[in-house]
Amino acid sequence: MANADGGQMIVSERDALEAGMEPVDIWLAQIQKAKDDESAWRKEATNALEIYEGGETGTGKTAQRISFNIYHSNIETMIPAAYNSTPIPDIRRRYDDPDPISKMGVDIIKRSLGYAVDQYDFDNTMRGMTRAALVVGRGLVRIRYKPQWRQSQDPMTGEVVEEKGYEEVACEVVPWDRFIRGPARTWDTVPWIAFEHDLTKEEIENLTGEPNEPGDDEVPLSGEARGEKKDLSAKPDAGIFKTGKVYEIWDRRRGLVIFITDQKASKPLRVEPDPLQLPGFFPVPRPLQPVMRETSLTPVCPYTIYAPLIEELDVVTKRITRLVKQLRVRGIYDAELKADLSRLQDAEDGTYLPATDSTRFAQGSGGLEKAIAHMPMEPTVLALRELYTQRDAIKQTIYEVTGLADIVRGASKANETATAQQIKAQYAGLRIQHLQKEVARVARDLFRMKAAVFCRHFSSENLSIMTGLQMDPKVEELLRSDAMRSYRIDIETDSTIRGDVTRNLDQMSQFIQGTAQFAQAVGGIVQTVPALLPMFTEVYASFARKFDLGKQAEDALDQIPQLVQQWQQQQQQQAQQNPEIMKAQMEAEARQQELGMKKELHGMDMQAKQMELGVKQQSAQIDMAMNQQKAQADMQKTAFGLQAAQQKAMMPNGVGRA
């Protein structure tokens, strides 16, 4: 085994303790190793943040400011594309079985989360996390439970006891450079996470619960020695008070939260058991990382992916700036023209001055143009034209690499149809759909964590005051149990993209129009034959499920057959109880039977007429055939008579006589 302070590996924590290492030393070694593993990314993230904020890149003589800050422009375009709509908690029963206890629990959680979203700046937190993820590669949000304790007197014993007063659970963005995690390849296997804090003396005393007096375990504050004047320019926005670096470690394997200092200390500042009792232990959801590695949780800084293109764009822009400065009208002229040109330079538009010295040049063979020579600008103009073309090409390449097309930036052709623009918008959003889903996933996880804190830690009194609902003992038992709550209640969130909301509204409009047309088409049939109502309700439910109406609407659709059955039973009961209704129904049935009989008789009459018409047609056909045959016989008889007369006429006289 080797000493972890020297940067080497140790066999196990037990062996390190037996060798004389303190638990604080082991934790500090793990934290330092975690920082070293991400040192390359942290350096790249610092550089990317400087560029995004308009600072200088590089150090010393190589430091320079970006002229065309397309990185800042891309980030500001991607933030609203990834998150631009406050999510609404979607709390529902996990199953469709009748369960009034779960229904009451759903209402309490939904109202609690709705209050938390409205009371605290949830949107700013989500935007800050999204901005950090897009700028440096990792965005993180943590939740904090902040109860306020008050002292009261027990009416039974008279003793002074502490009880919870006002309670709140809020979210805050974790600075990307103040988060450390244990070694793992997947988030589910991360053994510990840590948050780095700079705390003042009073804050450390509140943390430890005892004054920070001089001694072996005193937390060293910033500065070379006690009483030394603090360098106020070393840490901007740090205040004038000296601070000590403290690490807040969440150890998932032991279920403990440990506070230690980065200086030599024999014991932790504070150790407490799991304070929030969350299902995943950590007070943060899985970090938002737009670019993931295959074999590591170390983030990838998005700037490094297209840094060469940004640098090339910056070089081209700086060359354009230098050449534009050279585009000035300059020239030389004959010294004899000095007086006239001096007066002409100060003249206003449309002013004509009498010439004195210029007359000789105007009347000469060379003319006035030969006396004035301009600095040529054609080469500079041609170079600028090529540079502008090259810059546009680089920008287009950056858009292709990052997935930012013109349609994502809101650009479209004026002569395009609305359908064409909608198709473009759908395909342009494919590249960022994964990021949008990840942002929605973080919002959902935050809602689940907040709901767990509400159910586990908030007093029944505060929950009732916050939601306006009374806590039934069975409902409280359901909410206090993580297992029972997760089995019977599902916590989701709607979309965080306003474009999705717009598409949903369009779908709802189409659904309402289709419902109206369906009702108009089947309304008359149902009034005539009420027994067909269950069949048409099933057809309508199948039609409605083609639309994405949400879980609540689907639950309502599932209840339609049952409601129709109940309505029919009520109608039957009312008919049995009210003779007039029964009489009306019997009359309606009689009318229906009479109508059916009339239809049947009408059909039989039509068949008889058709048969009679057929017989007449057949008789007419027979008469026509007989007439044709008689006409043919007469024609043959006439033909035979003519033939006999001809033969008789052709015989000689006397032939045939005896």
pLDDT tens digit sequence for 491-539: 777 766 555 555 566 667 777 777 777 777 777 777 777 777 777 777 7
Distance CA 285, CA 62 (A): 40
Q: Band of the pLDDT at 548, cuts 50, 70, 90?
A: low
Residue that has been written with the tokens 């948050």 in this structure: 195
pLDDT for the residue numbered 15: 75
Given a contact cutoff of 8 angstroms between Cβ atoms, the answer to whether 84 and 496 are in contact is yes
pLDDT tens digits, residue range 279-335?
889 999 999 999 888 888 999 999 998 888 888 888 898 899 888 888 887 777 777
> Per DSSP, what are the bridge partners of residue 331?
374
Question: What does the longest C-alpha to C-alpha distance in the chain come to?
Answer: 181
Check pLDDT > 70 for residue 206.
Answer: yes
Return the exposure string of 308-323: e unless at least 16 CB atoms fall within 10 Å of the residue's CB, then b.
Answer: ebbebbbbbbebbeee
Q: Please give the single-letter amino acid code of residue 397.
A: T
pLDDT tens digits, residue range 110-168?
888 888 888 888 999 999 999 999 999 999 999 999 888 777 777 777 777 777 778 88
Q: Band of the pLDDT at 238, cuts 50, 70, 90?
A: low
**How many CB atoms within 10 Å of residue 269?**
23
Distance CA 114, CA 447 (A): 10
Distance CA 277, CA 234 (A): 39
> Per DSSP, what are the bridge partners of residue 142?
172
Which tokens hold the place of 47? Answer: 């550089």
Distance CA 123, CA 388 (A): 39
Check pLDDT > 60 for residue 174.
Answer: yes
Given a contact cutoff of 8 angstroms between Cβ atoms, the answer to whether 550 and 507 are in contact is no
**Chain centre to alpha carbon of residue 9:** 43
Q: Please give the C-alpha separations between residue 78 and each of 429, 442, 569, in angstroms, as whole numbers.
A: 11, 17, 57
pLDDT for the residue numbered 77: 86
* Residue in 68, 46, 41 with CA at minimum distance from that of residue 57: 46
Return the exposure string of 231-267: e unless at least 16 CB atoms fall within 10 Å of the residue's CB, then b.
Answer: eeeeeeeeeeebbbbbbbbbbbeeebbbbbbbeebee
| In the chain, domain spans | 4-222+236-301
Distance CA 449, CA 444 (A): 9
For residue 252, the number of C-alpha atoms closer than 13 Å in the C-beta half-sphere is 19
Which tokens hold the place of 416? Answer: 């395009």
Lowest mean pLDDT, pick from 209-213, 343-347, 439-443, 445-449: 209-213
Q: Band of the pLDDT at 368, cuts 50, 70, 90?
A: low
**331-333 and 372-374 as β-strands: parallel, antiparallel, unpaired?**
antiparallel
For residue 552, give the 3-state DSSP assignment: helix
**489-493 and 89-93 as β-strands: parallel, antiparallel, unpaired?**
antiparallel
pLDDT for the residue numbered 552: 60
Check pLDDT > 60 for residue 234.
Answer: no
Q: Band of the pLDDT at 340, cuts 50, 70, 90?
A: confident
* Residue in 295, 309, 286, 301 with CA at minimum distance from that of residue 40: 301
pLDDT for the residue numbered 654: 47
> Per DSSP, what are the bridge partners of residue 288?
139
Q: Please give the single-letter amino acid code of residue 58.
A: G
**How many CB atoms within 10 Å of residue 396?**
12
Q: Please work out, in degrees rounded to the nearest 5, the angle formed at the alpha carbon of residue 17 by the alpha carbons of 14 and 18.
A: 85
pLDDT tens digits, residue range 605-639?
777 777 777 767 777 777 787 777 777 777 777 77
pLDDT tens digits, residue range 7-51?
556 777 777 777 777 888 889 989 999 999 999 999 999 999 988
pLDDT for the residue numbered 658: 37
Phi, psi of 259 (to 5 degrees): -110, 125
Q: What percent of the chain has pLDDT over 70?
A: 75
Given a contact cutoff of 8 angstroms between Cβ atoms, the answer to whether 337 and 371 are in contact is yes
Torsional sign, CA 529, 530, 532, 537 = positive
Would you give the end-to-end CA distance of the chain in angstroms?
165
**How many CB atoms within 10 Å of residue 457?**
17
Check pLDDT > 70 for residue 554.
Answer: no
Burial of 534 (0-12, 13-18, 19+ CB in 10 A): middle
pLDDT for the residue numbered 1: 44
Which tokens hold the place of 413? Answer: 């052709």
Check pLDDT > 80 for residue 260.
Answer: yes
Which tokens hold the place of 636? Answer: 């043959």
Q: What is the DSSP letter of 656?
A: T
Which tokens hold the place of 428? Answer: 């342009």
Q: Band of the pLDDT at 405, cuts 50, 70, 90?
A: low
Check pLDDT > 60 for residue 59.
Answer: no
Check pLDDT > 80 for residue 187.
Answer: yes
Check pLDDT > 70 for residue 394.
Answer: yes
Q: What percent of the chain has pLDDT over 90?
A: 19
Check pLDDT > 70 for residue 236.
Answer: no
Distance CA 478, CA 395 (A): 56
Given a contact cutoff of 8 angstroms between Cβ atoms, the answer to whether 358 and 340 are in contact is yes
Q: What is the dihedral of CA 32, 36, 41, 45, to 10 degrees?
A: 40
